[in-house]
Chains A and B, each alone.
Chain A
């Protein structure tokens, strides 16, 4: 719960930096909180950073698509602050630190993890929005079909 509040604060303040409309700020903050909690849960279970980041980004994408339909705004308003907690700050920093200290193999390890995490975030969000577009298209087809036959 404490984690949720902290991630909420981070995303909320980040949303202010991105200049989002006032009524959407709270929802953007909640998005950050949710994605961090999902990440934490899966990370404790599986101990795989990239995989849990991917799932968290997917959940974040689903949440922001749903909210986008409710609030009638584009989805990125929620998803960009929402992925703030997932951005691989720690691993990137560890990479730099390892390079500075001369432990190059460790640095390569961490560097690949950083790139993988960044990719996982983007693909998670894209997967969510693609699924939503697909579902809405299928729905349209389903609605149109009976009309065409009758």
Chain B
């Protein structure tokens, strides 16, 4: 197998990992492991927004490439699959065609169906609203609002505005809807409904991954992840805050 094909496999695996929200050290580990399986040296530098990779074989041929990652989401199953794929390579070296087919299969692995995702985002809100001390009405209202938020967020994401707008609008929707419903229906606790329904948006993964990266020594990526997380939090807070201001001054 020639050096270009090895690099193709490694960088494709890295791309899938990075765009599914894996930690930095895991991406570096996997790329290095794949290259070492095929008997070439490699040096890679990974950041949350992209990575560069240089491969060198025994004859001294050097090849490098830079990959920019645009879309980042959280998909733990894909990370797990790529992880097992790279470990499997240790035992049996797949050919170029087999490896690329396997990775393509992982990349296009089916999500849970869209309706199931919407319903489960509703259930997240329902569970947590009740958990944080709301009553049954609150959780039902949060259930509906959360489904609405998930739908709206997905629609905005498809048009591809910048990332923070969708969080801002989601927070705004959560605030406005729950204030409206709180006005119309008695017995609804607005605070609890808002908290429950923004629960699906909070950047928990980004914060934990950010601190994990720092502990493994990748300070640049840790910083950028933490800043991303805090900007998301600020965007949600702004959305909710604007709706609260509207409530305080006009309603």
Number of A-B contacts (CB under 8 A): 126
Give a binary string over B72-85; 1 marks a CB under 8 Å from any A CB, 0 the rest.
00111111100100
Partner of A89, one of B121, B126, B127, B128: B128
Closest Cβ–Cβ distance, residue B105 to chain A (whole Å): 15
Closest to A21 in B: B77
Query: Is the C-beta of A95 less than 8 angstroms from some C-beta in chain B?
Result: yes
Closest to A81 in B: B76
Query: Is the C-beta of A134 less than 8 angstroms from some C-beta in chain B?
Result: no
- List CB contacts (< 8 Å) of B143-196 with chain A: 191, 194-195
Q: Using known A-B contacts A6-B130, A93-B194, A93-B195, determine if residue A20 contacts B76 with beta carbons closer than 8 Å.
A: yes
Query: How far apart sit A10 and B132, CA to CA, in the bound complex (Å)?
Result: 12
- List CB contacts (< 8 Å) of A59-107 with chain B: 73-74, 76-77, 79-80, 83-85, 87, 89-90, 92-93, 95-97, 99-101
Query: Is the C-beta of A17 less than 8 angstroms from some C-beta in chain B?
Result: yes
On chain B, the residues within 8 Å of A125 by CB distance are 208, 212
Query: Is the C-beta of B250 less than 8 angstroms from some C-beta in chain A?
Result: no
Q: Using known A-B contacts A85-B131, A89-B128, A119-B211, determine if residue A20 contacts B205 with beta carbons closer than 8 Å.
A: no
Closest Cβ–Cβ distance, residue A124 to chain B (whole Å): 10
Overall SS of chain A's interface? helix
Closest to A95 in B: B237
Q: How large is the interface on B (under 10, 10 to 19, 20 to 34, 35 or more residues)?
A: 35 or more
Overall SS of chain B's interface? helix
Give a binary string over B58-73; 1 marks a CB under 8 Å from any A CB, 0 the rest.
0000000000000000
Closest Cβ–Cβ distance, residue B29 to chain A (whole Å): 11
Query: Is the C-beta of B46 less than 8 angstroms from some C-beta in chain A?
Result: no
What are 24 A-B pairs with beta-carbon distances under 8 A?
Answer: A6-B130, A7-B127, A10-B123, A10-B126, A11-B127, A12-B120, A13-B124, A13-B127, A16-B112, A80-B205, A85-B128, A87-B199, A87-B202, A89-B132, A89-B202, A93-B240, A96-B241, A96-B244, A100-B241, A101-B248, A118-B207, A122-B208, A125-B208, A126-B211
A-B CB proximity, top 6 nearest: A10-B127, A122-B211, A13-B123, A9-B127, A13-B120, A16-B120
